[in-house]
Structures are given as structure tokens and as C-alpha cells.
Amino acid sequence: MSKPPFPTAYPATRLRRPRMSDWSRRLVREARLCPDDFIHGMILKDGKGIREPVEHLPGVFRLSPDEAVLEARKAHDLGIPALALFPFTEADKRTADAKEALSSDNLMCRTAKAIKNAVPDIGLICDVALDPYTDHGHDGLLQGGEILNDATVEVLIEQALVQVKAGFDVVAPSDMMDGRVGAIRTALENEGLTNTLILSYAVKYASTFYGPYRGAIGSSGVLQGDKKTYQMDPANAANGLHEVSQDLAEGADWVMVKPGMPYLDMVTRVKDTFNVPTFAFQVSGEYAMISAAAANGALDREAAILESLICFKRAGADGIITYFAMEAAMALN
């Protein structure tokens, strides 16, 4: 007599059984979250002793280099492996050609040197794009209403080299110009900077969720038009895989999807398709929404933070840039 098939229907199979106790839920948990998963996003501002609140981002501050060093020490002590730095640039230092981006004594470079002197074994990631430095708020050079791709790439190469020489371990091109990853990789090799990682913002959408960040770095009031000619259309997915494929072929070590939670499907598609280190950016708009809902009593802040972050891990993200990094690490610790 043949054996009956393995029972898969209720009541022989009760899918609630493993959920009945905390210990059994922990034993079979598929995704896990720890401080190793976080990259702490930090906004910089020139000066000393500055810890300036950022509008719409409660708990986020613009930090002067000395305060950034203190924040880096705290992050390191919490087990956070890396920091992503972004500069607030005053209007008088913004120009059409973004020349401040190429200064070896600019805010990003001085802060990198100070952090590396104080916390040498924390990873430093620099944004490579011109929007914090242009007087029109775009990520590239603007001429006659058009963003110039190839001319912008030449400036991005210089910006990347300046920042790496100041102490950054990872360059993260967020500009979405075609060919910039390959050009930067070639320049790094030519300079003997062969160990520098490239984290490409490969799948970066033209999103409304960047609004609070643009205010944080001083770009929102100067941005002319929109960024739809170079950032991706939110309706597209296959195009994002093409972007990743191209950036990997050009020498990217890691790739990123931005924004995060509205585009978790892309995190999964990228990870499943390429099986390379895949990152996601929980952007300022996501932070602002969770913070506002928690402040209004609609959500439990800590629970919402941790749930949102575990969703990134479940989707396939290896690391997450988030302004919640310190708060989440403290909760997990």
C-alpha cells in the first residue's frame, strides 16, 4: 500500500504553530537586523560647535566638523560600520560650475580628515554629484536648460579624486550621468587608488521623497525645474536593471536603489538578478513621514523604525543608508 502524500492542509498543517512563542519565532526568522546593516547619513555645515536642527527632520542636525567627529565616535561605539556625508553649502559658495566641489579644503574634505584622525577604522562614503554646489541645484552642469552629460562627468572625476585623497573610502556617484562610473574607476586606477570602492546610485528615481534633504543641503530654494531628464522614471523597472548592468560593467563594486521603501521591489530585482552587494537609501521623505506619524501618536516610533528597516533586509538589501541609524542601533543594542 502506498503511503499517503505529505499532509499540507489544515488541520494537519497549522501555519500559526511556529508563531506561538517568542523563542520559536526567533528560531525561524528569515531576515535579521543589526547595527552592521546601517550607514549613518550625516549633514555637514561649516563652522564650529554647530548642531543645527533640520526642518521636517526631527532628530537630524547639520553638524560642523567638530560635532561630526563626536557623532562619528558615537556611531562607531554603537557598532555602525560606515558614515555617508552630505554638505550644506551656503549660497555664496554655489556657482554655475560647482567649483567648490573641487576644493581640497572644502567642508567635505576637512570633515573627512578630522573624522579619520579621530576614528580611523570607520568607513567614510562621499556623495559624488554637483547639486550641493551649483547655483541652479542640479547634479550636473547646466547649459541652455540642458544638463551636459560628458562635461559633467569630467567634473565628477575631479570631485571624486579630491574626496578620496581627503580620506573617503567609498565614492558614491549619485548624479545619474551616463558613463560616470567607468570614468571615475579609470581615474582612480590611474592615480593608484585601486582599493577605493565605488557605490553607484545605479537605480535612482526622480522622486518627491527627496524634498526634506534638498532643504537640508540648501538646494530646494535654488533648484531650477526638475531632474527628470537624468533621474529614473518611477514607472520603470527594467530600465533600472539596465542601469545596474552598465554600472557593474564599468567597475562599480556595490549598487544602490534610491528611494528605499517605495521601491523595495527594485531592491529584490537587483539582488536576485545580479547577486552583488545591494544597498538601499531610506531617504529624507521616508524619515519625515515616520517621524510625523509618530509625533502625532499614529505610530510607535521605535517599532515603526525597526519594522521599516527589517523590510529592507527582507527585500534583499545588504546595507541601508538611513538617518535612523543611531536610533535604530541604540534600540537593537
Spatial neighbors of 129 by CB under 8 A, at least 6 apart, are 139, 156, 173, 174, 175
- CB-side neighbour CA atoms (13 Å) of 22: 0
Compute the distance between CA of residue 60 and CA of residue 41 in angstroms, rounded to an integer. 9
- DSSP codes joined into one string, 262-307: GGHHHHHHHHHHH-S-EEEEE-HHHHHHHHHHHHTTSS-HHHHHHH
Establish whether the linkage from the previous residue to 65 is cis, with ω within 30° of 0. Answer: no
Active site residue 258: yes
- DSSP codes joined into one string, 175-228: S--TTHHHHHHHHHHHTT-TT-EEEEEEEEB--GGGHHHHHHTT-TTT--S-ST
Active site residue 227: no
Nearest to 244 by CA among 235, 232, 252: 252
Compute the distance between CA of residue 42 and CA of residue 71 in angstroms, rounded to an integer. 9
The answer to whether the CB of 206 falls within 8 A of the CB of 231 is yes
Secondary structure (3-state) at 125:
strand
Q: What is the CA radius of gyration of the chain?
A: 21
Secondary structure (3-state) at 10:
coil
Compute the distance between CA of residue 102 and CA of residue 166 in angstroms, rounded to an integer. 12
Q: Would you call 270 exposed, middle or buried from its count of C-beta atoms within 10 A (0-12, 13-18, 19+)?
A: buried
Q: Could you say which of 45, 93, 116, 204 is catalytic?
A: 204
Compute the distance between CA of residue 282 and CA of residue 316 in angstroms, rounded to an integer. 14
Report, as residue numbers or ranges, the catalytic residues. 204, 258
